[in-house]
Amino acid sequence: MKIATFNINGIGARLPRLLEWLAAAQPDVACLQEIKCQNGNFPVPALEEAGYHVLVHGQKGFNGVAILSKAPAVEIRVGLPGDDSDEQSRYLEAEIDGVRIASIYLPNGNPQPGPKFDYKLAWMARLDAHARELWKLERPVVLCGDYNVIPTDEDVYSVRAMQDDALMQPESRAAFRRLVNAGWTDAIRSRFPSGPMYTFWDYQAGAWQRDAGFRIDHLLLSPAAADRLLNAGIDRHVRGQEKASDHVPVWVELR
């Protein structure tokens, strides 16, 4: 079972690239982030024609997450619990082939300090609380998405260039560590323990050409899922295509 996460940065601009990647990579499940459209404008027919069931949690203009699956999916949760006043579409959870899977678009948090950074940290605390509930299921769970956290200095092309960014503030990293250290497996670091494993390259200043990237898209596996881990990888080549997203797909294969 191949499960992927892909921040597509706008479905309107990315549909051709997404369809090409689905056809080539053949994921059983694809968790998407930043679809940037309302539910009614998501191209469900084109994706169904490509062989996928579709769950969408959209929003006009910004944010928005979706889950595509070859097998039928049961929608478990729309939106992250813990704050009824939160109207941003950043969390969608489904049960697919006996695996609980979440598509996560964690707030960026810039500029910091400020209200956006406060929202990021509050959102991470809510995610941590919900992850602990999922943990209690003692079943295969995959929490995947754009976490907007650079976990360590090894995950960024330049610590100095990014030192004031919300993505690698000590508070952001501590919150991510608190989540992972509860017992989740960071799939990419499990497979590739060291070295740069970037998942994002900015559109600006030739970041892709000079490999000025960082690792912010993650798949966290519960013990029952980690026991089934066969392989993990990053589809770097996607970033070099015309009209590419600034993120690339990251995936795991479970037995």
Which parts of this chain interact with DNA (CB under 7 A)? 7, 9-14, 34, 36-38, 41, 60-63, 107-108, 110-111, 116, 146, 148, 165, 167, 200, 202-205, 214, 216, 243, 246-247
Residue with smaller CB distance to DNA, 139 or 173:
173
Task: Dig out the tokens for 96 from the structure.
Answer: 């697919």
> Distance between CA atoms of 167 and 120, rounded to whole angstroms?
10
Contact at 8 Å (CB) between 37 and 57?
Answer: no
Closest CB 126 distance from DNA, rounded Å: 16
Closest CB 158 distance from DNA, rounded Å: 12
SS3 content of the chain, % helix, strand, coil (to 5): 35, 25, 40
Residue with smaller CB distance to DNA, 36 or 218:
36
Residue with smaller CB distance to DNA, 181 or 209:
209
Looking at 52, 105, 147, 198, which residue is catalytic? 105
Closest CB 187 distance from DNA, rounded Å: 20
Looking at 28, 146, 165, 246, which residue is catalytic? 146
The terminus-to-terminus CA distance of the chain in angstroms comes to: 6
Which segments within the chain are labelled E, that is strand? 2-7, 29-33, 53-57, 65-69, 74-78, 91-96, 99-105, 141-146, 185-186, 200-201, 213-214, 217-221, 229-234, 250-254
Residue with smaller CB distance to DNA, 184 or 200:
200
- Is 146 an active-site residue? yes
Closest CB 220 distance from DNA, rounded Å: 18
* Cβ neighbour number for residue 175 with a 10 Å cutoff: 22
- Is 203 an active-site residue? no
Give the CA angle between residues 33, 148, 126 to the nearest 5°: 85
The catalytic site residues sit at 105, 146
